[in-house]
Each structure stands twice: as structure tokens, then as C-alpha cells.
């Protein structure tokens, strides 16, 4: 039975409030079991749909986009990053793409700070010690980590999340260095040291936080050569995209002692992460939790719906249109 409303396929199980609004305004095809669609299944599920509301990790590569039904006119991703959607392939099909910027800045910056502190202060080892009943009491040399206050923090990618992390780090009196495609105005820079060449920033990083988007230029940017430029005992934090880090190089540096620790929330190929991470006591690992607050996930969903409603219901350009490069 048709409702007369535009039909939207939800590729994942989204927060309750988001799905309620989706169902109220559209003929919603929901996924309550949260099954993962491969490309073939996604194409099949999209039959008769006007749009797709997807999420990070969905298989919207060139082959999938090419096979989508002619009825599909829009892809709204429940994420800021859109590397999982082949935007160029969508443009060739006349399919527009939108994302959800601005709303997950604070939540992700909080997790970046958690990763930084967790890695520096050996939180993973301390938690394991308690949960395995192996803690025998305080000792003068137990779990001595790396001091954070007053240290140098290098930020690769000084967009909204990078700036929000810098704001939090200033509370620890950290000295901020950053590299970005362009220098920030002085009122946003707030005394941070700009490095036009990101490699030149690395020797000044007691901590290096990756906050850059995943692009062809940043793919495996954190490699063995660049890790070697970091001071011995540095700590690497990644809450951006897993593919920015060369896993083999990072794991080798953590095992070999050049890096003291790493705090990681995102992984290349997740959820099938590199097996080498599991045996590292000096890796503080989280399962892609950057935006995982009720408030943030609802805001992401509502922003995706704002885009869908603008295009499908009001025949307007989505406010968060992603342009093909």
C-alpha cells in the first residue's frame, strides 16, 4: 500500500526519536534488526525508494551506486564523513548526497581527550588489573604513565573538532601546535602555533591527535617515516578515520618503544581491526564511540532528516549538500 509520501530506506536501526520522525514524514523502510546490507542487498532494498538514509560503513561504493534503482534521488548519510559514499558516482547518476556536520563536534572532542588521557595514564592496564583481581595494592612505581599538563599537543586537521580539542587541552595548559590546509584567523588560533607543512609539526608533538578527514592525501598518513619524526615517548591519538593511520607502522612503534602509547577510537576496516592491537597493553582502544551520546546521535539523525525533508518535501537544496570533487 502506498502512502503518497516519498519512500526512504533506512539502512540501519537509528535512534527511536529519529525513526519516529522519519516514519511520520516519509514512507519509511526501517531496519529494526540492524542487519548489515552488502551492496547487492542494499540495491534490492532500495527498490521503489526515493532516498536512502545511510550510515558510516555502508557499502555505497561506485558499484553499488551504479546499481541503485532509478527512483533513488538522494543519499543522506548519518555522519560527517562521507568516504563510504562514492559522491562522484552518485553525481553521475543525478543522486545528491548530504551529511551531518557541526552536531558531533563536542562529543568527538570529548572522546579525543578521553583517548589522550587514557593512553597517557595507562587506564587500560589499570582497569584490567582490577577486573582480573590482580591488584595487590598501591606501590611507588605502579602504572607510571606520561604527564599531560603543560605538554605539547599537535593537531592534524584544525577544523571544528580539532579546535574543540584544543579548547579542552588548554585546560591542561597544553601548548597547541597544528597543521591545517589554511591558517586560522588569530581569534580562532588563540596562540596555537601553525605549521604549513604537517611534517614540520611532528618534532614538536609530545601528543599527536589526528582530526583530519579521510582523503587520498591522508590515507595512511601516519606511517613509519612520520612516526620516526615524533619525539621518543610520544603518544598518538586517532578519533578521525582509521585509514589515516598505517596500522603496521603504529603497532611496530608501540611494540618497539618509540611511542609510549596510543589512544584509538577508529580503525581501518572496522570492525575487523588489525589483530596486532589486541595484544598491546599500551594501546587504549574504543569501539568508534566518538559521537555516542543520546543528544549527539539524535542531533545527527535530525540533521539527516532536515536534509531529506528539504529536498523531498520542499523541493529545496539540502542545507548540508556534499559537492562532488
Q: Please list the active-site residues.
A: 241, 270, 288
Using alpha carbons, select from 203, 238, 205, 207 the residue that is nearest to residue 221.
238
What gap in Å lies between CA 231 and CA 205, rounded to an integer? 7
Residue holding cell 599527536? 208
Using alpha carbons, select from 33, 30, 31, 32 the residue that is nearest to residue 22.
30
What does the block give as the cell for 236? 598518538
- Structure letter (DSSP) for residue 26: S
Using alpha carbons, select from 250, 192, 188, 195 the residue that is nearest to residue 222.
250
Angle at CA of residue 112, ends 108 and 115, nearest 5°? 135
Return phi, psi of residue 40, to 5°. Answer: -65, -45
Residue holding cell 516514519? 23
The dihedral over CA atoms of 260, 266, 270, 271, expressed in degrees to the nearest 10, equals: 80
Amino acid at each position: 500500500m502506498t502512502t503518497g509520501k516519498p519512500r526512504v530506506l533506512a539502512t540501519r536501526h537509528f535512534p527511536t526519536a529519529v525513526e519516529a520522525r522519519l516514519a511520520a514524514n516519509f514512507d519509511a523502510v526501517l531496519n529494526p534488526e540492524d542487519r548489515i546490507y552488502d551492496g547487492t542487498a542494499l540495491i534490492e532494498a532500495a527498490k521503489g525508494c526515493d532516498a536512502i538514509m545511510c550510515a558510516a560503513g555502508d557499502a555505497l561504493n561506485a558499484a553499488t551506486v551504479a546499481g541503485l534503482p532509478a527512483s533513488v534521488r538522494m543519499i543522506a548519510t548519518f555522519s560527517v564523513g562521507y568516504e563510504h559514499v562514492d559522491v562522484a558516482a552518485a553525481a553521475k547518476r543525478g543522486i545528491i548526497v548530504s551529511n551531518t556536520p557541526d552536531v558531533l563536534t563536542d562529543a568527538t572532542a570529548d572522546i579525543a581527550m578521553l583517548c589522550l588521557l587514557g593512553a597517557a595514564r595507562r587506564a587500560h592496564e589499570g582497569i584490567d588489573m582490577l577486573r582480573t583481581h590482580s591488584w595487590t595494592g598501591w606501590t611507588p612505581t605502579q602504572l607510571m604513565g606520561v604527564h599531560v599538563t603543560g605538554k605539547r599537543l599537535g593537531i592534524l586537521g584544525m577544523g571544528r573538532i580539532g579546535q574543540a580539542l584544543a579548547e579542552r587541552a588548554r585546560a591542561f595548559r597544553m601548548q597547541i601546535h597544528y597543521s591545517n590546509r589554511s591558517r586560522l584567523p588569530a581569534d580562532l588560533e588563540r596562540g596555537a602555533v601553525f605549521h604549513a607543512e604537517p611534517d614540520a609539526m611532528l618534532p614538536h608533538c609530545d601528543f599527536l591527535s589526528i582530526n583530519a578527514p579521510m582523503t587520498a592525501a591522508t590515507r595512511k598518513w601516519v606511517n613509519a617515516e612520520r612516526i620516526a619524526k615524533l619525539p621518543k615517548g610520544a603518544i598518538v591519538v586517532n578519533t578521525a578515520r582509521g585509514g589515516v593511520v598505517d596500522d603496521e607502522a603504529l603497532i611496530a612503534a608501540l611494540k618497539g618503544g618509540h611511542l609510549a602509547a596510543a589512544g584509538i577510537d577508529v580503525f581501518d576496516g572496522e570492525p575487523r581491526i588489525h589483530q596486532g592491537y589486541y595484544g598491546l597493553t599500551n594501546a587504549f582502544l574504543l569501539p568508534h564511540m566518538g559521537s555516542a551520546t543520546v543528544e549527539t546521535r539524535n542531533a545527527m539523525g535530525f540533521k539527516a532528516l532536515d536534509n531529506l525533508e528539504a529536498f523531498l518535501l520542499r523541493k529545496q537544496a539540502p542545507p548540508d549538500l556534499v559537492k562532488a570533487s
